[in-house]
Amino acid sequence: MQIHILTLFPQMFQSPISSGILKRAIDQKLVEFNIRNIRDYTHDKHHTVDDSPYGGGAGMLLKPEPIFEAVEAAKAEISPSGQAFRTSPEEAANTTPIILLTPQGRLFSQPIALELSRHSHLILICGHYEGVDERVRQHLVTDEISIGDYVLSGGELPAMVLADAIVRLIPGVLGSEDSPVDDSHTTGMLEYPQYTRPPVYRDWAVPEILLSGNHAQIARWHREQAISRTLERRPDLLGKANLNREERQLIDRLKN
Query: Does 168 participate in catalysis according to the annotation?
Result: yes
Q: Which of 102, 117, 187, 230 binds ligand ADE (CB under 6 A)?
A: 102
DSSP bridge pairs for 132? 62
- With binding defined as CB under 6 A, does residue 155 bind ligand ADE? yes
- Give the count of beta carbons closer than 10 Å to the beta carbon of residue 145: 25
Stretch that binds ligand ADE, among 140-148, 180-188, 207-215, 224-232 (CB under 6 A): 140-148
Rounded CA-CA distance 144/34 in Å is 20
Give the residues across from 6 on adjacent strands.
36, 125
Nearer to ligand ADE, 7 or 102 (CB): 102
Residue selected from 103, 180, 188, 193 as contacting ligand ADE according to rule CB under 6 A: 103
* DSSP β-ladder status, 32-37 and 50-51: unpaired
Does 61 bind ligand ADE (CB under 6 A)? Our answer is no
59 near ligand ADE, rule: CB under 6 A: no
Measured distance CA(63)–CA(99) in Å, rounded: 17
| Among 92, 127, 133, 160, contact with ligand ADE (rule: CB under 6 A) | 127
Sheet (strand 143-146) strand order: 32-37, 2-7, 121-126, 98-107, 143-146
Q: How far apart, in whole angstroms, are the C-alpha atoms of residue 17 and residue 59?
A: 31
158 binds ligand ADE (CB under 6 A): yes
Of residues 178-197, those binding ligand ADE (CB under 6 A): none
Residues found near ligand ADE in the complex (CB under 6 A): 101-103, 127, 146-148, 150-152, 155, 158
Q: What positions carry a catalytic annotation?
A: 103, 130, 168, 183
